[in-house]
Chain A
């Protein structure tokens, strides 16, 4: 479903050249729950941006559900994001001036759904995360955990092929963080494909498979219960 072939992302040139992604080959299948881990600067954010179609690689191919998206135009990428991807961000990224319901309706609005359809689907997604009672509230009136649940509802609303969670618990306390993770596991058990990006090993272990990045290279790719998954390069002193 997700296939990265010999992917490079290079910033700058000459002596200032920074290889954020240095020849990544990665395949993620439908229904997998993958955690991409690495220290800051390891390239995991760049990796997530490219998987999320928010950025394009310098070279290499990215095939999403059989479509090569690595050289697509801005507007086409918007369409792909709209149809195939659901984002959960660390900072929730809800729009402050509009209601919870309108926030969840946004991807559906850009998909071109009618008002009635939008409302129905958005309410369903909000019910799914148990927050439909707050539909008329504004993001600022909700707690962090509730806001993150709204952003999960927004990610689910369009029924995407892949859910991308970028440090979803980073801004939450451990209790609500656990709730969010439990929810992601629940979504996985229902057959959703989930890619989780984190720097935290304990969180990464909630996933079934771990992909560890360091200096733009994959240094581990395997099941999360393998002891090697956590005893990794960045912990043995290699600069991350």
Chain B
């Protein structure tokens, strides 16, 4: 019975942790934006793209593409008076669509506008970590901060995205991409982020972008198009495989449990040979004996199954917490594991029971 309990519990723990891990990863990807497609290009002379080309591409394919934002990474210290954030703060030049694409909310002020980008205004929107570090409890909007010697006016603060800690998604400053481009003197913009109208159309959108870029560059060596949802699909497939393999291992422990049940039944049949003899002498047919022992085996394994289910579900939560995952026991998995345990009971109970039912009543009665 212990075998069955451990077997069932193992199956349930492994699958619910697997499911938990999968949903954890899905959530992680979702927060990064599975609706986003990242495009990196290397501009070469005439074969190049600029933000206007990309905006046009998005407008022309509005059935799949929702919006686009260039992404210009800027480096520099973010300071306010004598306070400074560490160099971990990411400073990114983006378009006015960026917050909508990423699903960022504002707690105060406004996001960048078209005017800010056109005018290359020195304005910024900051994350909660930056706001807390530089301005404490004061309202940040209207305050100024310095990025590498340039003074920027804070026009908005974002709602918390991560956990407001250093290096998290909240350790960020967003400025107009045009301003960033000018300050970094890098010339051309090499990175863009597209958002798709529907997450399930990500593949289609990716193809549209790839085709457009191929038209311009006449080669696929000069650009990369990465869709997060595509990566998520790949990871999910891998996770499924891992869960399947782990479940197979757990199934082995179930089989071991089955052998355990068979042993219990064999011992029980041997111990109760005399009882079988008595029952047969009183008129029990083979079928009666068989039924009795199969039902007993089923009861044992069902009981083991139930205990295993309870143990499995109870253990999977604390173990999940240990890894920072919320365990997700699925009803279907539990039902399957339970049916398997009962099936094992019937199968492995049948063999010794069948042997018991064929015992000669006289030999059985003489057995001590």
B-side contacts of A43, CB under 8 Å: none
- Closest A residue to B283 using CB positions: A82
Contact between B278 and A81 (Cβ–Cβ < 8 Å)? Answer: no
Closest beta carbon of chain A to B289's beta carbon, Å? 10
Chain A residues closer than 8 Å to B211, beta-carbon distance: none
Instruction: Produce 1/0 per residue, B353-368, CB < 8 A to A.
Output: 0000010111001000
Q: How far is the CB of A149 from chain B (nearest CB, A)?
A: 17
Given contacts A54-B361, A54-B362, A55-B362, contact A95 B278 (CB under 8 A): yes
* Contact code string A186-214 (vs B, CB < 8 Å = 1, else 0): 00000000000000000000000000000
* Cβ A81 vs Cβ B279 within 8 A: no
In angstroms, how far is the closest chain A Cβ from the Cβ of B295? 14
* B339 sits at the interface (CB 8 A): no
Tell whether B139 is near chain A: CB-to-CB under 8 Å: no
Task: Summarize A's interface: helix, strand, loop or mixed.
Answer: helix
The verdict on B61 contacting chain A, using a C-beta distance below 8 Å, is no
Return the CB mask of B279-310 against A: 1 if under 8 Å, else 0. 11111111110000000000000000000000
Q: Are B281 and A87 in contact (CB under 8 A)?
A: yes
Q: Does B198 contact A (CB under 8 A)?
A: no
Interface string of B135-149 (1 = CB under 8 A from A): 000000000000000
**Interface residue from B274, B285, B358 paired with A79 (Cβ < 8 Å):** B285
Contact status B365-A75, CB under 8 Å? no
- With most chain A CB atoms within 10 A of its CB, the pick from B280, B281, B284, B362 is B281
Any A CB within 8 A of the CB of B275: yes
In the complex, per-residue mask of B239-283: 1 if CB is within 8 Å of any chain A CB, else 0: 000000000000000000000000000000000001101111111
Interface string of A139-177 (1 = CB under 8 A from B): 000000000000000100010000000000000000000
Chain B residues with CB below 8 A from A239, complex form? none
Which residue of chain A is the closest to B288 with respect to CB atoms?
A110
Contacts of A82 in B (CB 8 A): 282-283
Chain B residues touching A, range: 10 to 19
Say which residue of A49, A55, A106 sits within 8 Å of B282 (CB atoms): A106
Q: Tell me what chain B mostly uses at the interface: helix, strand, loop, or mixed.
A: helix
CB pair A95–B362 under 8 Å, yes or no, is no
List, in ascending order, chain A residues with CB within 8 A of B288's CB. Answer: 110
Decide: B283 and A83 in contact? CB cutoff 8 A.
yes
**For the complex, is A226 an interface residue (Cβ under 8 Å from B)?**
no
Cα-based distance from A110 to B281 in the complex (angstroms): 11
Q: How far is the CA of A67 from the CA of B126 in the complex (A)?
A: 102
The CA of A89 and the CA of B361, in the complex, are separated in Å by 14
| Residues 54-86 of chain B, each 1 if its beta carbon lies under 8 Å from chain A, else 0 | 000000000000000000000000000000000
* Residues of chain B lying within 8 A (CB to CB) of residue A81: 280-283
Complex contacts, A95 vs chain B, CB 8 Å:
275, 278-279
Asked if B285 and A75 sit within 8 Å, CB to CB, the answer is yes
Whether the Cβ atoms of A87 and B285 lie closer than 8 Å is no
Closest Cβ–Cβ distance, residue B290 to chain A (whole Å): 11
- Complex CA–CA separation, A137 to B365 (angstroms): 23
**Residue A74 lies at the interface, judged by CB distance under 8 Å to chain B:** yes
Is the beta-carbon distance between B365 and A54 smaller than 8 angstroms? yes
User: Closest Cβ of chain B: how far from A9's Cβ, in Å?
Assistant: 11
With A54-B361, A110-B288 already in contact, the answer to whether A79 and B278 are too (CB < 8 A) is no
Binary flags per residue of A26-70, CB closer than 8 Å to B gives 1, else 0? 000000000000000000000001001011000000000000000
Neighbouring B residues of A52 by C-beta, 8 Å: 281
Task: Please name all residues of chain B whose beta carbon is closer than 8 Å to the beta carbon of A75 when the two chains form the complex.
Answer: 285-287
Closest chain-A Cβ to B261's Cβ sits at a distance in Å of: 20
A107: which of B274, B283, B287, B365 is its contact (CB, 8 Å)?
A: B283
Residue of B nearest to A87 (CB): B281
Residues of A within 8 A of B284 (CB): 78, 106, 110
Q: Output the least CB separation between A122 and chain B (Å).
A: 12
Report whether B278 and A110 are in contact in the complex, using a CB–CB cutoff of 8 Å: no
Q: What would 9 A/B residue contacts be, using CB atoms closer than 8 Å? A: A52-B281, A54-B281, A74-B358, A78-B280, A81-B282, A107-B282, A110-B279, A110-B285, A110-B288
**6 additional contacts, CB 8 Å, given A55-B360, A106-B282?**
A78-B284, A79-B285, A82-B283, A93-B281, A106-B284, A154-B282
